[in-house]
Amino acid sequence: MSKARVLLIQPPALPGTTVNREGAAGFGNQYPREGAFLYPPHTLATCAAVLKAAGYLPAVLDAAAERLSPREALERAAGWDPGYLVVQVCWPAWEADLAFCRAARARFPGVPLIVVGTILRHGDFARGAAGAADMVLVGEPEQALPAALERVRPLTQGPAPVVPAVELAPQQYDAESYLRDIESLPPPAWELTPWKRYGFLSVLSSRGCDQSCVYCPYVVGWGRRFRAWGPARVREELRWLAERFAPPRVMFRDAVFGRDRGRAAGICEAILRWQVRASWECESRPEHFDPELVRLMGRAGCARAKIGLESVEPARLAALGRVGDVSQAEMYVEAARQAVAGCRHAGIRSHVYVMVGWKDALPGEIERLGAFLQELGADDVSIKPAEVYPLTTWEGWAPVDAEAGARQAEGLARILPPPARKPRGSLLRRAMAVLRRNLG
């Protein structure tokens, strides 16, 4: 008997936009220009690997990365003759994604279509998707997909069932449809994706975070329980990526790579002990990057550390939930100084992220942030206008708006002198870092 053919689709982006469906733990980001940053389709590539192991014949159609129009994407899909369709939808491109699902169902009558995506955790969105699909799968989809394919039927009328992942694979999921054990996931089937278009590959070695940042979409998409691979699994994934794909760089998608310091250090030690050759990047809170860990990371091939600073204003940090109360702000800010200095010493590019967009900005708040960033001298600074994601603690009361975001981002960019915002990795500094690395 031939294997059932399953086509996993990232829908097209609208002309003039980039849609990064993997961003913000799967809520997605949309940028008003083409060619903006995109993560490789980690979720769909992992779903494909799970389906392969379960005896299906999966393929990935990455219409967003290939800049296909909806018509071109459907033509490409027809050439593959799918028996099932799985479409990853996201929040910022919601209407366009649903329109694509409707067009796909019209183009492939009798072929069941399942939608997946973090935004479906929101009941209103799940119900909205039910009119454009044959099943709405809620929760982390990977291990539930084989059971979803067994259950889904093409509908001729009425809304699709909204099915939590835990109902399909109770052993694998907790009550909120987060995977119990992410280490049981196979490596993503990158060979089915146009991954070279991205210029890098990703590793998702932990999900979830137990911190209380009120704006955070990651605790919605990946939950509040920190679930992580052990160092051995990370080492094996990196080694497999290097041998099988040799990507120029590897990006850890973990929201808080250094949340468990022992694990982070163990990953670095495993990389060094097994001589895994990889250039990698990671992201975490300032206090997770202590100088000793950063030194070890540099020796283990870390090329960039992304440091989520967000603000230096004690009242803002407390209001954001970055610190418990204003008395902890000084230590937090000092940790950012230490992290950037540690990166400089270890030959790692430091990339600091800050947030703006406050309707209730304090007098001088943006200027103080600008002055701090000047003094900090990180290699890169990203200024993000704050965004209110559905289902976050912030929903409904966040003191932010787009106009304040644009104004303050522009003001901050003016304060930052070019050297602080441009690459600073001098040849001498890099050579010294390599020397230190080799001397251990």
Q: Which residues bind ligand SF4 (CB under 6 A)?
A: 209, 211, 213, 216, 218-219, 255-256, 285, 308
Minimum distance from CB of 410 to ligand SF4 (Å)? 24
Cα separation of 51 and 142, whole Å?
Answer: 9
Residue with smaller CB distance to ligand SF4, 179 or 213: 213
d(CA 23, CA 299): 28
Task: Assess contact for 8 and 43: CB atoms under 8 A.
Answer: no
Residue 251, amino acid: M
When the beta carbons of 49 and 383 are compared against ligand SF4, the nearer one is 383
What is the closest distance, in whole angstroms, from the C-beta atom of residue 317 to ligand SF4 in the complex?
Answer: 11
Closer residue to ligand SF4, CB minimum distance, 288 or 295 = 288
End-to-end CA distance of the chain, in Å?
56
The DSSP call for residue 188 is P
Residue 256 or 409: the one with the smaller Cβ distance to ligand SF4 is 256
On the CB side of 51, how many CA atoms lie within 13 Å of its CA? 28
Give the Å distances, CA to CA, from 323 to 176, 210, 376. 27, 13, 20
Question: Looking at beta carbons only, is 276 or 356 nearer to ligand SF4?
Answer: 356
Token pair of 316 as six digits: 């803002």
d(CA 87, CA 93): 13
Contacts of 366 (CB under 8 A, 6+ apart): 356, 408, 411, 412, 415
The CA-atom distances, in angstroms, between 14 and each of 39, 73, 193 are 17, 13, 20
Pairing between strand 135-138 and 57-62? unpaired
Least separation in angstroms between residue 94's CB and ligand SF4 is 22
| 135 versus 220: smaller Cβ distance to ligand SF4 | 220
Residue 14 and residue 169 in contact, taking contact as beta carbons nearer than 8 Å: no
**Tokens in use for 24?**
């913000």
Give min distance, CB of 384 to ligand SF4, in A.
Answer: 12
C-beta closer to ligand SF4: residue 164 or 221: 221
| Min dist. Cβ of residue 258 to ligand SF4 (A) | 10
What radius of gyration, in Å, describes the C-alpha atoms of the chain? 22
Taking the least distance from each CB to ligand SF4, the nearer of 173 and 218 is 218
Tokens found for residue 258 = 């250094």
Choose between 216 and 294: whose C-beta lies nearer to ligand SF4: 216
Residue 224 CB, nearest distance to ligand SF4 (Å)? 8
Residue 203 CB, nearest distance to ligand SF4 (Å)?
Answer: 17
Q: Choose between 40 and 286: whose C-beta lies nearer to ligand SF4.
A: 286
Single-letter code of the amino acid located at 209: C
Strands 250-252 and 280-284: parallel
The nearest distance, CB 26 to ligand SF4, in angstroms, is 13
Q: Where are the alpha helices (DSSP H) in 301-399?
A: 314-320, 329-346, 365-376
- Give which of 292, 300, 303, 291 is closest to 336, Cα–Cα: 291
Host H or E run for residue 231: helix 231-244
Query: Shortest gap between Cβ of 385 and ligand SF4 (angstroms)?
Result: 16
CB of 370 to ligand SF4, least distance (A): 22
